[in-house]
Amino acid sequence: MKSIKIISLIALLNLMALGAFGQKEIDLENSKIEFSIDNSGTLVKGKFVQFSGTVTFNPDELDKASFEVKIPVSGIRSGNSIRDKHLNEEDFFFADKFPSITFKSSLVEKTAKGYMLSGELSMRGVSKKIKFPFTYADETFKGRFVINRKNYGVGDEGYDGEIAPEVKISIRCKLKS
């Protein structure tokens, strides 16, 4: 009987620990995914107004950390509704065939300035491994990185010289309590 109580206590403590550092959902209202890209000498800024995901993160147990994010392409907003509609068409994100951008982590490492997140970014049917730095404080992750849109087939060759290949991405991810 005593051993059952001890096992039950251990199980309860494990559940409490999962609550403190277990899987949590992203707080969409207090999070953002923004981008910027040069288009014919003009810096175009935008954001994704829809996304969802889960995060498991404990700074003391990085081997158990995981990040999964899903971003519907239809949630892109660049301040120009005509451009946003065009970005969903076949020559850019091809939302009818590839409705979401996804990221799934594979490794989190501690660095001198914060952390390094490695994983697979998938869009338009192409998956590539990426790596980017982030910081963590008060249930909030912040990171910045650059991707080459052409590596994912976003924007056909007809846009070379007009639209830069490099897209700067900024993420602020707050977790739900």
Q: pLDDT tens-digit profile of 141-158?
A: 999 999 999 999 999 777
Residue 65 lies in a domain: yes
Work out how many domains the chain is built from and give that number.
1
Distance from chain centroid for Cα 66: 11
Does position 165 have pLDDT exceeding 50, yes or no? yes
Report the pLDDT averaged over residues 96-125.
98
Residues 6+ apart with CB under 8 A from 37: 43, 44, 149, 163, 164, 166, 167, 168
Residue pair 95/73 in contact (Cβ under 8 Å)? The answer is: yes
Residue 7 lies in a domain: no
* pLDDT above 70 coverage of the chain, percent: 88
Give the CATH number of the domain where residue 155 resides.
2.40.128.110
Residue 4 lies in a domain: no
Does position 21 have pLDDT exceeding 80, yes or no? no
pTM metric for this prediction: 0.85
44 vs 130: CA distance, rounded Å: 23
Q: Domain span at residue 158? A: 23-174
Does position 177 have pLDDT exceeding 90, yes or no? no
Strand, helix or coil for residue 135: strand
134 vs 130: CA distance, rounded Å: 13
Q: What is the pLDDT of residue 138?
A: 93
Strand 114-123 relative to strand 42-48, pairing: unpaired
